[in-house]
Amino acid sequence: MKHVVFTLCLVLFTCLVPTQQAFADNTITPERIQQLFPKATVIGEKQADYPVYPVYQLQELLGYAFQSNDLVELPGFSGDRINLLIGIDVEGNIVGIDILHHHEPIFLHGLGPEPMLKFLDQYIGQNVSNRVIVDSASNDTNPNDNTVHVDGVTKATVSVIVMSDTVLLSALQVARNKLTGFASAPAATAKQDNYEPLTTAQLIDKGYLKEWQISRESFEDALGSDLDDYPSETFDTDFNDTFTVYYAYL
């Protein structure tokens, strides 16, 4: 019996290891960048002044490739970042995404890699200036609007939101740094003469601060998983049936 148990454990371990390492290759090669830019004839070295790889077709600049870990610090559900190799063209369109490294358990042991790949495929062709909402692609009914709706992944809400932000924020940084027409607007400056210190109660009374109560059950339904499944530092789960969210609009 001990021999049988050991054999089964060995088989399970052998099956699991390739899955865990399937998306754990951080090596960026010209061949991987070429997959993002099929027409490329020249792939430049990583630039010293900004962490991007220029990509050319003969003398014409096609765009840039970059890894998200060089640009954003967004931990996934596992607590580790999801490192992506991303390509954008000179118009700010995302032309390709390759997964370099991730530790998201839902895509390693639960749903497998296919839903993750399918989710990221929705971003190919999107412009970095678009506002992307993760809910349902069926809500994308206005082709003239720069708001784009994409399908999420059931039971992987946190992971897909982090992936979405990782793609869009890193690509937007590259566009603002390397492309024309994507400069950020000047930062808003507070008018000190209008400053009036208010307590939380006063902010609520004046309508500046809104109050919203949500039950734990509703919260878990929206996330698609139990709060106890998340790392302890992610949420404060000491509340009982409901908790209060305060929010304000700028």
Domain residues of the chain, as ranges?
A: 21-178, 192-247
pLDDT of residue 31: 96
State the pLDDT at residue 12: 34
Indicate the SS3 state at residue 29.
Answer: coil
**What is the maximum alpha-carbon separation in the chain?**
80
Tell me, what's the pLDDT at 15? 37
Q: What is the pLDDT of residue 17?
A: 36
- Give dist(CA 179, CA 168) in Å, integer: 15
> What is the model's pLDDT at position 238?
61
CA dist., res. 91 & res. 79, Å (int) = 33
Report the SS3 class of residue 61. strand
Can you give the pLDDT of all 250 residues of the chain as single tens digits? Answer: 444 333 333 333 333 333 344 456 788 999 999 999 999 999 999 999 999 999 999 999 999 999 999 999 999 988 899 999 999 999 999 999 999 999 898 898 888 889 999 999 999 999 999 999 999 888 888 777 789 999 999 888 899 999 999 999 999 999 999 998 887 767 677 777 778 888 988 988 888 888 888 887 887 777 667 777 666 655 565 656 777 778 887 6
Q: CA 222, CA 215: separation in Å to the nearest integer?
A: 11
Q: What is the pLDDT of residue 234?
A: 57
What is 216-230 written as a DSSP string? HHHHHHHHTS-GGGS
**Is 0.75 topped by the overall pTM?**
no
In the structure encoding, which two tokens stand for residue 71, read together? 């640009």
- Give the rounded distance of the alpha carbon of 109 from its chain centre: 20
Which residue stretches of the chain are H helix? 2-21, 30-36, 105, 114-121, 157-178, 200-205, 216-223
pLDDT of residue 145: 78
DSSP 8-state secondary structure symbol assigned to residue 131: E
